[in-house]
Structure formats: structure tokens, C-alpha cells
Amino acid sequence: MYVIVVGCGTTGIKVAEWLMASGAEVTLIEKIAEKQRLADNLLGSVVVLGDGTMIDTQNTAGTERAALFISTLSSDEDNMLACQIAKHHFEVDRTIAMSGNPDNAKLLSLLGIDIVVDVTELITEKIQSLVAPMLVEDL
């Protein structure tokens, strides 16, 4: 499976490492040259330097042959734009976007992103699962 991951932050790198360990062919897109160099050193020469919200950059990364496109940028709007370009211009089957704002997460789903990872919801659920046993003990 060929996968594009936008963003060489902590999340993008961890997702790419897991995908590569699982046998997927992965290309990352990163617009900050220093992050691109660090990711290339860590993962091999698999990072395209450029803006993942631009058609030209996605074209260089080979988005037209991707089965999955994942955007892990800190901006919900950039994740939406990157995924929409992949979905509608390059006809990628599945898109995944991170969202830091629960209101935006709903909008991203409505706009056709296949899977939206609501970071706030995940963190809240994790904290609830850790705190709930403490609450029961206090009863």
C-alpha cells in the first residue's frame, strides 16, 4: 500500500514509522527544510520538501498513486485542504485528518474527509478512563 503522510512533526513521524514497519510504502511531505532533513535521516530519503496543501507538491509526492492520504498538521484548515486536494484532484480512496478542535472535526467529516481524528476527544477519553477508577474508589 502506498501512503502519503503530510507533516514531519511527532505524530507524522510516529505514524510513518508504524506504517513502514507494517510494510507500507510511505512518502512524507514537509515544508520546513530542517524537519525534512531530520525525518530523512530517521526514516531514509522518503520526505518531499514542500507544502502539502499545494497541488504541485502532492504531485511530486506521487499522490495520484496513493491508497491512503494522512494529514497530521497542527492546522485543521491545512489538514482539510490537503485532504480535499488528495481526494478530489488526485482521487485518493481514503483520507485521514487530525483535528484539534471538536467543532472543526464535525465540519471536516461533513466536507468528505473519510476519517477525522479528534485529538481533544481522544485526550478527554484517556483522562476519563484514568480518573474514573479513582472516582469509584472514593464512593
Q: Find the CATH number of the domain harbouring 73.
A: 3.40.50.720
Cα separation, 36 vs 23, whole angstroms: 22
The predicted pLDDT at position 92 comes to 97
Q: Domain span at residue 10?
A: 2-138
Is 63 in contact with 92 (CB distance < 8 Å)? yes
> Residue-wise over 11-22: b if at least 16 C-beta within 10 A, else e?
bbbebbeebeee
Tens digits of per-residue pLDDT, 68-86?
Answer: 999 999 999 999 999 999 9
Q: Give how many domains the chain has, as a whole number.
A: 1
Q: Kindly report the pTM of this predicted structure.
A: 0.90
State mean pLDDT over 22-49.
Answer: 95
